[in-house]
Amino acid sequence: MIAVKDQIRVRPKSKRRFSTLLEGLLYLLPSILLFAVFLFYPMFKTIYLSLFLTDAQGNTQTFVGLEHYIQLFQSTSFLSSLKATVLFVLYTVPAGVLLALGLALLANQKLKGIGFFRTIFSSTMGMSVAASSVIWLFIYNPTIGIANTIIKTFGMTEMQWLLNPDTALLSVALPTIWMNTGFSFLILLGGLHNIDSSLYESGKIAGVGDFYSLRKITLPLLSPTLLFIVTVSLINSFQTFGQIDILTKGGPMESTNVIVYSIFKDAFVNFNIGSASAQAVILFTFILAVTILQFKWGEKKVHYQ
Amino acid sequence: MKAIDVRNINKAYHGEAMVLEDVSFEVQEGEFFAIVGPSGCGKSTLLRIIAGLENVSAGTLYMNGEDMVNSRPNERQISMVFQNYALFPHMTVAENIVFGLHVKKISKQQQKQRCLEAARLLGLEQLLDRKPRELSGGQRQRVALGRAIASEAPICLMDEPLSNLDAKLRSKMRAEVRQIQRRLGMSMIYVTHDQVEAMTMADRIMVLNEGSIQQIGRPLDVYNYPQNQFVATFIGSPPMNMTKATLNGQHIQLTDGWQVAASGWEEGDVCAGVRPEHLTYAAEEPPTFTAAVEHIEILGTETLLMFRMNGELWIAKWPGQWDFQEGEEIPLKVDEEHIHFFQPGTGRRIDKRVLPADEMYMEAAL
């Protein structure tokens, strides 16, 4: 301790601060490099491109300022795309998290053969988006799909799941929930495992009911995990692309044309890279704002141990 | 009246390993009963069975005169203090103390009153609005005690409640827990691996090893008359010194120069044991035997001398400060009445002295 104090006294403060900063950066260099190449550079390039008109190769032609943004907020297509995205998030995130939480609570019971169910419930984690989308494509098939077979046995008429603008977004949301459940389930189960069993035993001795202990013990202690899962699911949901591309291609009548798909179409189908970049920037600020809001809200509600 | 009456309880997991074997004991109302044993002896399992957190494989359990072996934990009128305190990190101290009282239909006002009473008893009044993470280990321990007190259950179960505290705080809390138990008159079952805790706090202790009862009795009886070799070496620190001794005609030969009379002795070879404090310095009188000091530890108020006895490490505990050189021969003296004998195979005590009756003591204590 004494030696360190002496060093501080001898060296001027700013110089010392600079050298420790340099040392710290050196340790961070590998990840900074990776982040710079794959995240920071593309991000700044996107912001830059969103201010220009470009040719088909993506080379900048003319500086247009905020023209793209103004146009976007006036275009009905983009606004409906925004609406579809928000709806899609609302369909998938709450339902997905609640489903995963329910399954995790079930799988956290100490029962014989529970390992089997834990494996099953988390198995969708191992499925690629493409593979599961193809499975759901078969499920939704109007003539041979099991979805129609099931609703026919309940006496309802056959449906054009993915071709009807009213049901298409829900029909894409359903597979998304199914795909995301595995990951959320696994994380929530881990969170449940971390709750000290003596807390429940204390509750048992006091004689509190199951619902009370779920509300007063499990949920508060699981809240950090829940916040994490909600945040990750939200971001994932905002960025959904694969299942839309395979199941509906943004149709019918742009009812499933969520922002990321719209970005993809603008950039790689219409070669309108400036506008696509502007959309990407809007999506980024959107996600950033939601995440910040969530953490602000979470700070009050979440109990870190 | 008996608060708890445990009869022939057996516990086995998955029908294989026996955790508890034929355990029977009773706890009187208002008694402080300590269960002590090494880790893995089944003492925590036994406590959890009494709490209703584990099922028994066989046996019965009466609490306040009622058969409770199949009833739920909350029907047993108990409170329990866990080793890790089981405090809810998201609740304040006050909320932690009154946790679960609403189930018993206790009004908010009365809950508050009980909380304040418990807090006053434990010196927590200033901390009621804090969260557990803002408390020290000893304060957390007190909050856990507070919950037990506020529940006003007649029976309190404690599972190694002091083992997470440092040594100084532990000895302070020892006295505090004991005082509170006396003042409130609760029946206490206290599980510990620390024989000092058991000795200093309990009215009676039960020594458990590998799932079976070794001895039940008041602390000094267990200390002075250990019923077998396990109890002799487990209770007491440093443990009782043990050595093999051979029967030689009318004498038991401990070493070449140390023998004790054994008239009418029926046993063959035996194990002999002497507590460290009974190996005294033979200043004037002729020593029982002499030994070369191997190692010496001066603790301030007492001195520990270690030496070899028939190849075994023996420890003598002398009051005061003694300074010997290692290798120095010291004369030691042992009163014959302080030698304990055990059967070498079973470890059972060989004794003609009669134990003082348990009941007599209990009446005096209550």
* Residue B75 lies inside a defined structural domain of this protein: yes
Average pLDDT value over all residues in chain B: 86
Would you call A299 an interface residue with chain B, using a CB distance cutoff of 8 Å? no
User: How high is the pLDDT of residue B362?
Assistant: 43
Do B88 and B218 lie in one domain? The reply is yes
* Residues of B whose CB is below 8 A from A199: 86, 88
* Residue B365 lies inside a defined structural domain of this protein: no
Of the candidates B86, B89, B103, which has its C-beta nearest A305's C-beta?
Answer: B89
Do B220 and B329 lie in one domain? The reply is no
**Is residue B247 within a helix (H) or strand (E), and if so which, with residue range?**
strand B241-248
Instruction: Express each pLDDT in B181-235 by its tens digit.
Output: 998 899 999 999 988 889 999 999 999 999 899 999 999 999 999 999 999 999 9
User: How high is the pLDDT of residue A247?
Assistant: 87
- In tens digits, chain A (305 residues) has pLDDT values of 444 444 445 556 677 788 899 999 999 999 999 999 999 999 999 999 888 888 877 788 888 888 888 888 888 888 989 999 999 999 999 999 999 999 999 998 888 888 899 999 988 888 888 999 999 988 888 888 888 888 888 877 777 878 888 888 888 999 999 999 999 999 999 999 999 889 999 999 988 888 998 988 999 999 889 999 999 999 999 988 988 988 888 778 888 888 899 999 888 888 888 889 999 999 999 899 989 998 888 777 777 65
Do B224 and B257 lie in one domain? The reply is no
Give the B-side interface with A, CB within 8 Å.
51-53, 72-75, 78-80, 82-84, 86, 88-90, 99-101, 103-104, 133, 147, 151
Would you call A202 an interface residue with chain B, using a CB distance cutoff of 8 Å? yes
Of the candidates B133, B147, B151, which has its C-beta nearest A305's C-beta?
Answer: B133
Do B228 and B300 lie in one domain? The reply is no
The 3-class secondary structure across B84-113, one letter per residue, is CCCCCCCCCHHHHHCCCHHHHCCCHHHHHH
Do B212 and B259 lie in one domain? The reply is no
* Residue B363 lies inside a defined structural domain of this protein: no
Do B168 and B253 lie in one domain? The reply is no
CATH number at residue B310: 2.40.50.140
Residues 6 or more apart whose Cβ sits within 8 Å of residue B42: B11, B19, B20, B208, B210, B211
Do B175 and B48 lie in one domain? The reply is yes
User: How high is the pLDDT of residue A109?
Assistant: 86
Neighbouring-strand partners of residue B295: B306
* Residue B361 lies inside a defined structural domain of this protein: no
Q: For B73, which DSSP code?
A: G
Beta strands B155-159 and B187-192 are parallel
Longest dimension (CA), chain B: 78
CATH number at residue B165: 3.40.50.300
Name the residue type at position B49. Answer: I
Would you call A242 an interface residue with chain B, using a CB distance cutoff of 8 Å? no
Name the residue type at position B207. Answer: V
* Residue B358 lies inside a defined structural domain of this protein: no
* Tally of domains within chain B: 2
Measured distance CA(A43)–CA(A235) in Å, rounded: 16
The answer to whether the Cβ–Cβ distance between B89 and A216 falls below 8 Å is: no
Do B16 and B125 lie in one domain? The reply is yes
* Residue B44 lies inside a defined structural domain of this protein: yes
Output the six-digit token pair for A26. Answer: 């050196």
The answer to whether the Cβ–Cβ distance between A201 and B82 falls below 8 Å is: yes
Do B183 and B48 lie in one domain? The reply is yes
Domain interval for residue B310: 240-350
Instruction: Express each pLDDT in B40-75 by its tens digit.
Output: 888 999 999 999 998 888 899 998 888 888 888 888
Measured distance CA(B114)–CA(A286) in Å, rounded: 51
**Region class of A250: left (phi > 0), else alpha (psi between -120 and 50), else beta:** left
Do B229 and B112 lie in one domain? The reply is yes
Here the contacts of B347-356 (C-beta below 8 Å, separation 24 or greater) are B347/B228, B347/B229, B347/B230, B347/B271, B348/B227, B348/B228, B349/B225, B349/B226, B349/B227, B349/B228, B350/B267, B350/B270, B351/B225, B353/B225, B355/B217, B355/B221, B355/B225, B356/B221
User: How high is the pLDDT of residue A104?
Assistant: 94
Of the candidates B52, B88, B101, which has its C-beta nearest A217's C-beta?
Answer: B88
User: How high is the pLDDT of residue B357?
Assistant: 47
Please say if the pLDDT value at position B366 is more than 70. no
Q: Given 3.40.50.620, 1.10.3720.10, 3.40.228.10, 3.50.50.60, which CATH number is that of A74-301? A: 1.10.3720.10
Of the candidates B80, B103, B133, which has its C-beta nearest A208's C-beta?
Answer: B103
C-beta separation of B88 from B95 below 8 A: yes
The 3-class secondary structure across chain A, one letter per residue, is CHHHHHHHHHCCHHHHHHHHHHHHHHHHHHHHHHHHHHHHHHHHHHHHHCCEEECCCCCEEEECCCHHHHHHHHCHHHHHHHHHHHHHHHHHHHHHHHHHHHHHHHHCCCCCCHHHHHHHHHHHHHCCHHHHHHHHHHHCCCCCCHHHHHHHHCCCCCCCCCCCCCCHHHHHHHHHHHHHHHHHHHHHHHHHHCCCHHHHHHHHHHCCCHHHHHHHHHHHHHHHHHHHHHHHHHHHHHCCCHHHHHHCCCCCCCCCCCHHHHHHHHHHCCCCHHHHHHHHHHHHHHHHHHHHHHHHHHHHHCCCC
CA R_g for chain B: 24
When pLDDT is averaged across residues B292-317 and rounded to a whole number, the result is 90
Q: Cα distance from B74 to chain A (closest Cα, Å)?
A: 5
C-beta separation of A283 from A102 below 8 A: no
Query: Which of B278, B262, B272, B264 has the alpha carbon at shortest distance from B319?
Result: B278
Output the six-digit token pair for A228. Answer: 């994490």
pLDDT-based confidence at residue B364 (cuts at 50, 70, 90): very low
Measured distance CA(A86)–CA(A258) in Å, rounded: 9
Beta strands B155-159 and B78-81 are parallel
* Residues of A whose CB is below 8 A from B141: none
User: How high is the pLDDT of residue B252?
Assistant: 80
User: How high is the pLDDT of residue B352?
Assistant: 55
Instruction: Express each pLDDT in B333-357 by its tens digit.
Output: 888 888 888 888 888 888 755 444 4
Q: For B228, which DSSP code?
A: B
Do B162 and B268 lie in one domain? The reply is no
User: How high is the pLDDT of residue B306?
Assistant: 93
Domain boundary among the residues B233, B260, B288 is at B233
Would you call A208 an interface residue with chain B, using a CB distance cutoff of 8 Å? yes
Please say if the pLDDT value at position B251 is more than 90. no
* Residues of A whose CB is below 8 A from B73: 201, 204-205, 207
C-beta separation of B147 from B156 below 8 A: no
* Residue B156 lies inside a defined structural domain of this protein: yes
- As for the ipTM of the complex, it is 0.81
pTM: 0.80
Domain ranges of chain A: 2-49, 74-301
